[in-house]
Structure 1
Amino acid sequence: MSHATRIDQTVRRIYDTFDNPGTSPVEAGLGDIDSWIDAIDGLGGSALTGLQTELRNLRSYVERDDRPAIAATLQRLGTETSRIAHGMHSLTDNTGDQLRHLGQTLVIAAGNLKMS
C-alpha cells in the first residue's frame, strides 16, 4: 500500500470514528496504528523514532480507553506530522500536502476528543 493511500485511509477512518462513535471497533484502530508503526519502522531519523514512540503510546491509551491521554497524543502526532510535512513542498506526488492534511486532521481529532 502506498503512503498516499495509507494517509487517505487514516484520515477517512478518523473522521468516521467521530461521525459514528459507536460503530468503529477498537481492533480496527489498533490495526491502523500497528500499520503506521510498521510503515515507519526502519526509515530512521529521530523525528520518525519520536513518531513511532507516540504511536506506541497511542496504542496503549486506546487499549485502556484513556481519552485525555489519547487527545494529548493525537495533538502531538498532528503537530509533528505537520512539522515534517512543512519541508516536503517539492515532492511531486503530493505526499507533503497529504501529510499536512493528516496533521490537521489529527489536531482536529484531538480537539474533538477533548470536547466529548
Structure 2
Amino acid sequence: MSRFNPASANQSLDDAINAVKGGLGNAPATSQLDSWLRLLDGEGTGAQGAILTELSNLKNYVHQGDPANISHSLHSVGLLTAKAAETVSDEEIASKLRRLSEALVAASTALPA
C-alpha cells in the first residue's frame, strides 16, 4: 500500500513544479526524482503505480545520460500525472497535479527525442 498522502503533498507538488519549470538541468535531477519516489513509495494502483514505475525508469535514463528516453519518460509521467489529477477530490491538489503535468510534458519537448 502506498504511503502517498494528498493532504501533505502541497509543498512537494510546489517543489516538483518549480524544479521542472526551472529546468531539470538546473536542479539536482536525481535528488528530485528520489524525493518523488519516496512520496509515492509503495505499491500504488492505477495511475499512481504507473507513475512510480515510470519515475524509476526516468531515474535510470538520467543515470545513463539517455536524452531520448528521458524525453519519452518525462512525457509519459506528464500524461500519467494528468490522469491522476482526474481522480483527486481536493481541487487545490488536482490543480497542482495538472500544472505539474503541463510542466513535465513541456520539459519533454525541450530535450532531443
TM-score range, shorter chain: 0.7 to 0.9
- How many residues are matched? 106
Given that residues 23 and 107 in structure 2 are in contact (C-alpha distance below 8 angstroms), is that contact kept between their aligned partners in structure 1?
Answer: no
Alignment of 1:33-72 (within 5 A): 33-42=33-42, 44-72=44-72
Selected match of 2:15 from 5, 9, 12: 9
TM-score, reference length from structure 2: 0.83
Cα distance in structure 2, aligned partners of 1:11 and 1:47 = 18
Deviation at 1:50, TM superposition (A): 1.3
SS at match of 1:113: coil
Structure 1 position 87, deviation (Å): 2.8
Q: Which runs of 4+ in 1 moved over 6 A?
A: none
Residue in structure 2 matched with residue 91 of structure 1 by the alignment: 90
Q: Name the aligned partner's letter for residue 36 of structure 1.
A: W
Partner in structure 2 of residue 102 of structure 1: 100
- The structure with the larger Rg is 1
> What is the alpha-carbon distance in structure 2 between the residues aligned to residue 111 and residue 69 of structure 1?
12
**TM-score relative to the length of structure 1:** 0.81
Structure 1: unaligned runs, 5 residues or longer: none
**CA offset at residue 15 of structure 1?**
2.0
Contact map agreement 2:74 2:105 (CA 8 A) in 1:
yes
Identical positions, percent? 28
User: Residues 49-90 of structure 1: CA distance to partner in whole angstroms, max 9, x if unpaired?
Assistant: 2111100110011111100000000000000100110233x4
Q: For structure 1, which segment, 69-78 or 28-37, has the greater mean C-alpha deviation from structure 2 after superposition?
A: 28-37
Call closer, same or farther: CA 1:40–1:7 in 2, change over 3 Å. Answer: same
